Structure 1
Amino acid sequence: MRFSLIALACGLAGPAMAEDIYPATLAGHAILPAFSMIAPPEDAPRDLLISGKFTGKGRNEAPMSVMGDTGKNYGQHPTGISLPFIGQPVQGMSGFAMNRAEDGSWFTLTDNGFGSKLNSPDAMLFFHRMAPDFETGKVERLETVFLNDPDHKVPFRIANEGTESRYLTGSDFDTESIQYLDGEIWIGDEFGPYILRVARDGRVLDVFATRLDGEVLTGPDTAGTIVPAAPGKDFRVQRSGGYEGMALQPGSNLLWAMLEKPLLVEGGETEGDFLRVLVFDPARADWTGDSYRFKLSEGATAIGDFNFIDDTRALVIERDNGEGDAAKACAEGADAASCYPLPAKVKNIVLVDTASRDDQGYIRRIGHVNLMDIADPEGKALAGLKPAEGNFSFPFFTIENVARVDETHILVANDNNLPFSGGREIGRAAENEFILLSVPELLAAK
């Protein structure tokens, strides 16, 4: 069964859309615990043994001394996990590679650490191989590879510039999307935005700046952006608006890199309620010059991931900035300590056809599944992580991982922003949840 949603265009933002909503059924549920830590490599600077020292108003070197919370906009709920950490947090799953490792495990990566360039100089950057087991409900971390720059390929000064090992941190890049191609890792960054070519052992091989219509795109966190800078004039990419999704197209092996947020125009406004998609050719190590547009649905503010399922069709996560079950939304004037002031509403997995575009370059949206309304007739949701009544939902602020598993299933996972996000339960940090969804109608749609 499917339902039809009519989304009306606004002004010149894009064409009118008729879009189908398809059902989703929970087929598996597994977690990697929120508080999952790993030790830095033996040759890393001792500074990196403790992470999160700069997440407050000043330096704090006392481990586990300051409780994390969800922030003012989300009720400032404590999450039960305190900073700084001893070790490096595995949190922040921020993209699945379409091509899996030889053993069938999934390549994914941890993002910049604690949310900004300023607070993450001691958060190391790394990617992983993960294996969710839906029989046991657990996710096994099979491998972690730390990013480093021994050959000085990064074109700006890094946080660990003067060290021998030159490990990269969240002050250097915000790594948000990943692909695996011919034994190498390709990573989309939000700060530059840049595309990184990385060896399987974590060595940076190349760093590519972004070009749109022949001009280099930059943001407020790009190396070389000088303050004061005028948004839309001196830079066009919004803060945290770089490559949240980067899809690898089968057959062509082209990378379709999608910005997380709309570009800015002179005066500081956005150019519309759409996101740019730029195409990069790894074989030529250059941009093709092609760019397209992804239209956000009403209420959506950003995307979380982007992956092809065949030569032309792809999945995109679109989301709002909400977090938490709408059934526990704060009433007007209520104390936000026991409710969600900004609950989740728009959390979709959208199927698009990249080969079908209008004369403005808008990619056709075929339909979507609603992650706030997932059927669970077989009781697959893990104990303590399912609602008391109603369908299962995925009410997290940042849902940043989606990939096709087979002809009827997709895999979805959240970024838990440790220790700053909740969503599942007030007063408890969000776990890294992996859900297997049965969505045969969505995957068969044309």
Structure 2
Amino acid sequence: MIRHLLATTALLVAASTAAQAEEAFQAKLAGHAHLPAFTLIAPPADAPRDAWISGKFTGQTRNEKPMSVMGDVGAAYGQHPTGISLPFLGQPVQGLSGFAMNRADDGSIFTLTDNGFGSKINSPDALLFFHRMKPDFETGSIDRLQSVFLRDPDHKVPFRIAYEGSEERYLTGADFDPESIQYLNGEIWIGDEFGPYIIRATEDGRVLSVHETMLDGAPLRGPDTPGVIVPAVAGKDFKVQRSGGYEGMALQPGSDLLWGMLEKPLLDEDGTPEGSFLRVLTFDTLNGDWTGDSYKFQLVEGATAIGDFNFIDDTRALIIERDNGEGDISLECKTDDRSACYPVPAKVKNVVLVDTAQVDNDGFIKRIASIDLLDIADPDGKARLSTQADGDPSGKFTFPFFTIENVMRVDDTHILVANDNNLPFSGGLEIGTAANNEFILLNVADFLAAK
């Protein structure tokens, strides 16, 4: 017990030191666009009929009556309804969970929808797909130019999938939880949380290979990895936390290396987190294998996970770090009545600039600078959606979403950030209203120039 207390104290000191060492900058809102929360698309014509109604298994029992059960944010977050009911007719374009560094030839951005409804168990009818999108900051809209469904007709997935007996073998949220994406030499690379795996696919969605994660010569597994069954012991049979796989996977320019970052800390032998840091592993796309190198990213105090990871030059990269909060802190609950307040408001939502060429003796990547997504200047009134708060919001913009999972460099002056809206289980801006998928363009010239 004493050993764990000392270790925890040391890690908190390290987190505090990391925060003090980096320089803080303020972002300025330069553009704001959104994709409405309730955006649905039809599944492919040759997909199983089961995929035409999605979200049938999000309750305690099967429910095939469309739009019959109201979604809410969950008991821990006040059980506020979100105004959108399950199950859905079609597939929801929700949960945008990563930007690719490289763009398509037309300048559109590769992004992807995650596993569907939050878990392996409740998402067997949620198809997996990625998109090409273009935000239009003049109109405030987001153009979805293409959606591509992942499929495994060549039987490359090394385990039984939900739609095993179908011809095209479309993948679902019961198979993988895709949370990060990169585009390289005409192919798509996806980081998965369940395995955790790295998936290589064609631009039209056909799986080419699936790679198990290796760390220090041994496979890394989580509680949802196929083959890990009850009674599995945390820390012994698996070391990756549930929903703790590749939330971020950066592509290093000029190297063809993928840098996969786990969302949450690994587990020690006793089943507790090994520290307040995240593991980063490198994968060689040319050889199709792990390099054997690994690094660490130190979270600041209060942060619990990361949301995305993308390089901006040969060595420097952007990382979103976050807590589990949702909603403006000015509306934090002060009483037992949670109907008009946020029990767990957002407090830590940062974009961090790191330098992967600066690594200390313990393997920690250097944190250079950060910006606070809860304190964005908006002197020009660029915000198109207001944030419900107790106070005057003029001149200021906040991004108080539970999961902020997309970041990329646009140019020497701007970055693009977007949230995952967890439809229909997240709010963030207004109590009782489902979160949209929002894209914000931030002017952060000094931040991007930091060394």
TM bin, normalised by shorter chain, reads: over 0.9
1:384 shift after superposition: 4.0
1:383 shift after superposition: 4.5
**8 Å Cα contact 1:23/1:441 also seen in 2:** no
Q: CA deviation at 1:20?
A: 1.0
Spell out, residue by residue over 1:225-262, the C-alpha distance to the aligned partner (whole angstroms, 9 max, x if none).
02101100000000000000000000111000000000
Matches of 1:208 and 1:184, distance apart in 2 = 15
* Residue 374 of structure 1 pairs with residue 349 of structure 2: no
Paired residues in the alignment total 437
Contact 2:378 2:397 in 1 (8 A): yes
Measure the CA separation in 2 of the matches of 1:12 and 1:445: 26
- Offset at 1:385? 4.9
Aligned partner of 1:288 in structure 2 is 291
Query: In the alignment, is the contact (CA less than 8 A) between 1:29 and 1:381 conserved in 2?
Result: yes
Q: What is the letter of the counterpart of residue 218 of structure 1?
A: R
CA distance in 2, matches of 1:303, 1:195: 18
Q: 1: CA distance between counterparts of 2:143 and 2:106?
A: 13
> Which residue in the other structure is 2:405 paired with?
400
Distance 1:277 1:164 in 2: 37
Tell me whether 1:415 sits opposite 2:420 in the alignment: yes
After superposition, give the CA deviation of every residue in 1:252-287 in whole Å (9 maximum; x if it has no partner): 110000000000011111110000000000000000
Q: Which residue of 2 aligns with 1:424?
A: 429
Equivalent position amino acid for 2:10 in 1: G
**Residue 94 of structure 2, aligned match among 83, 91, 94:** 91
Residue 64 of structure 2: aligned partner: 61
- For residue 76 of structure 2, give the secondary structure of its aligned residue in structure 1: helix
The answer for the alignment partner of 1:363 in structure 2 is 365
Q: Quote the offset at 1:165 in angstroms.
A: 1.5
Alignment partner, residue 304 of structure 1: 307
Deviation at 1:309, TM superposition (A): 0.1
1:147 to 147, 150, 169: 150
Q: Which amino acid aligns with 2:51?
A: L
Aligned amino acid, residue 11 of structure 1: A
Q: Deviations over 1:352-385 (max 9, x none)?
A: 0000010010000001000000000000000445
Task: Find the counterpart in structure 1 of residue 160 from structure 2.
Answer: 157
Check if 1:251 corresponds to 2:254. Answer: yes
Q: Which amino acid aligns with 1:142?
A: L
Equivalence map 1:211-250=2 (5 Å): 211-250=214-253
1:389 is displaced (CA, Å) by 1.8
Is 2:196–2:213's contact at 8 Å kept on the other side of the alignment?
yes
Alignment partner, residue 28 of structure 1: 31
Alignment CA distance shift 1:383-1:412 (3 Å): closer
1:343 is matched with which residue: 342, 345, 367? 345
Stretch deviating more after TM superposition (436-445 or 382-391):
382-391
1:79 aligned counterpart, secondary structure: strand
Contact 1:132 1:139 in 2 (8 A): yes
TM-score scaled by length of structure 2: 0.96
1:276 aligns with 2:279: yes
Q: Aligned partner of 2:445: which letter?
A: P
Alignment of 1:258-269 (within 5 A): 258-269=261-272
Amino acid at match of 1:374: I
Distance of 2:216 and 2:100 partners within structure 1: 28
Alpha-carbon distance between aligned partners in 1 of 2:194 and 2:27, rounded to the nearest angstrom: 34
The answer on whether the counterparts of 1:248 and 1:255 sit within 8 Å (CA) in structure 2 is yes
- Aligned AA for 2:361? D
Distance in 1 (alpha carbons) for counterparts of 2:242 and 2:404: 18
Alpha carbon RMSD of aligned pairs, Å? Answer: 1.1
Give TM-score scaled by structure 1 length.
Answer: 0.97
Do 2:11 and 2:276's aligned partners in 1 also have CA atoms closer than 8 Å?
Answer: no
Amino acid at match of 2:403: T
Percent identity of the aligned residues? 73
Whole-angstrom CA distance in 1 between matches of 2:401 and 2:272: 27
Q: Does the residue aligned with 1:340 lie in a helix, a strand or coil?
A: coil
Give unpaired runs (5+ residues) of structure 1: 1-8
Contact 2:328 2:388 in 1 (8 A): no
Report the secondary structure of 1:441's partner residue.
Answer: helix
- Could you list the runs of 5+ residues in structure 2 that have no partner in the other structure? 1-7
Residue among 415, 437, 441 paired with 1:436: 441
- Measured after TM superposition, the shift of residue 386 of structure 1 is 7.2
d(CA) in 2 for partners of 1:10 and 1:247? 31
Shift of 1:19: 1.4
Matched with 2:4 is none
Deviation per CA, 1:184-219: give whole Å up to 9, x if none: 000000000000000011000000000000000000
